[in-house]
Structures are given as C-alpha cells and as structure tokens.
Chain A
C-alpha cells in the first residue's frame, strides 16, 4: 500500500505560468517532506523540504505548501521555465526512519 501518492503521472504547463504538483500521504506520523527533481538517467536532485510544524516553505521560484489535516502537500513553481521539464518526486519520512517516495509526476513545460 502506497504511503506517498502522486496521482498525476504527467502535467503540461505553458512556459511562464505556474506549475502545481500535488502529493497525498496516508501516514499521519510523517513529520518531514521533500521534493526532488529527476532528469532521465540521472540521480534525483533535492529541491525543497518542509517540516510538519510549518505549512509553507519558499525558496526562489519554488514553494511547498503542507495541509496536515488533508494529508496533502503541493509544490508550486513560478514562473515555469523550460529547464523545469523533469520528473518530480514527493517524499516523506517519520523520525529517524527511511524516506518514502511517490511514483513521480512528469512535468512538461511548453514553449
């Protein structure tokens, strides 16, 4: 049973617009959430994280929102750029335990 779910396998967004990637989780004990970006045949690179004590964290064009009551987090990218085309993984962990990843969402930025 998947604990971290990314229900949209792919998303297409016009260059310059906002990209919103969604993630749902089932384990209410998760206390740390991360987003990673991955290009084909490369390792994932860290984008942004958020602790469960916060509901928003911002870093440049990237903002992560956490809604604990809904067990939902989202990644906003504004403005979207061609280099943002990649697969985005949502991940979560609890305490000292291992990080669990979702299946990823492939983001296509259209010219």
Chain B
C-alpha cells in the first residue's frame, strides 16, 4: 500500500564521512517527516516539511539537515558522521493532519 521508498536500507561508514539518506514518495503528499529510532525507544521527530521549500527542525536536536526541492523527495544529510549517529532513520509522509503516516522501510546507519 505504501509508496514511500528509502535508500540505502543499510549503511556502514567511517567517522567523518558525509552521507545522504534518500526518501521518495509517489503519493503526492505535502507533509513529510524524518524520525530517528533506537531499540526500546520512541520514534523521535528530527525534521519535517509541509511542502516544497519548507523545512523545520523536530523535537529531537539533530546535526543532520534536510531539503525539500520537490514534493516527492526529502533527503537527509549528515555532513560529518559520528558513532553517536548510529541509529535507524525512518522517513514518513501523510496527506492531511489527523491521517495516518506512511513509513518507508528505514535506513539502518552504523558509524564506526
């Protein structure tokens, strides 16, 4: 049912590398979100966007940045990865408020 895609699924990189996690959706949703989740913890909102050229920081402070140049695309970038960035990153989208979020499969990031 969900047409939201994240790449890569798994990524292992060294400290100091620049990385971009990709997220695309084909549902025409205006609202898109990035969550970070560690085992046994809640999903923490780190960035969101309500449309093209609109981005906001979420509740959890993050050293990552995002962009929203096209409706369907919402990439997340880490300029210099550190071991503390090791986590699962989940992208989601929705059409309207008070409607369910559709999630991608997630990117499991490990920084050595």
Contacts and interface: CB of A to CB of B under 8 A. Distances in A.
Interface of A: 2, 4, 9, 31-32, 34, 36, 41-46, 49, 51, 89, 93, 95-99, 101-104
A96 B42 contact: no
A97 B94 CA distance: 12
Interface of chain A, main secondary structure: loop
Contact of A96 (B40, B97, B103, B108): B97
A103 B42 CA distance: 4
A44 B43 contact: yes
Given A93-B97, A98-B48, A98-B58, A46 B42 contact: no
Interface residues of B, number: 28
Interface string B6-40: 10011000000000000000000000010100001
B106 A43 contact: yes
B64 interface: no
Interface in B36-77: 40-43, 45, 48, 58-59
Given A46-B101, A51-B98, A93-B98, A102 B42 contact: yes
22 contacts: A34-B101, A36-B103, A41-B88, A41-B106, A42-B105, A43-B90, A43-B104, A43-B106, A44-B90, A44-B103, A45-B2, A46-B100, A96-B97, A96-B98, A98-B33, A98-B45, A98-B48, A98-B58, A101-B42, A102-B42, A103-B40, A104-B42
Contacts of A45: 2, 103
Contacts of B9: 41
B109 to A, nearest CB: 12
Contact of A31 (B40, B41, B98, B104): B98
A28 B97 CA distance: 18
A4 B97 CA distance: 18
Contacts of A103: 40-42
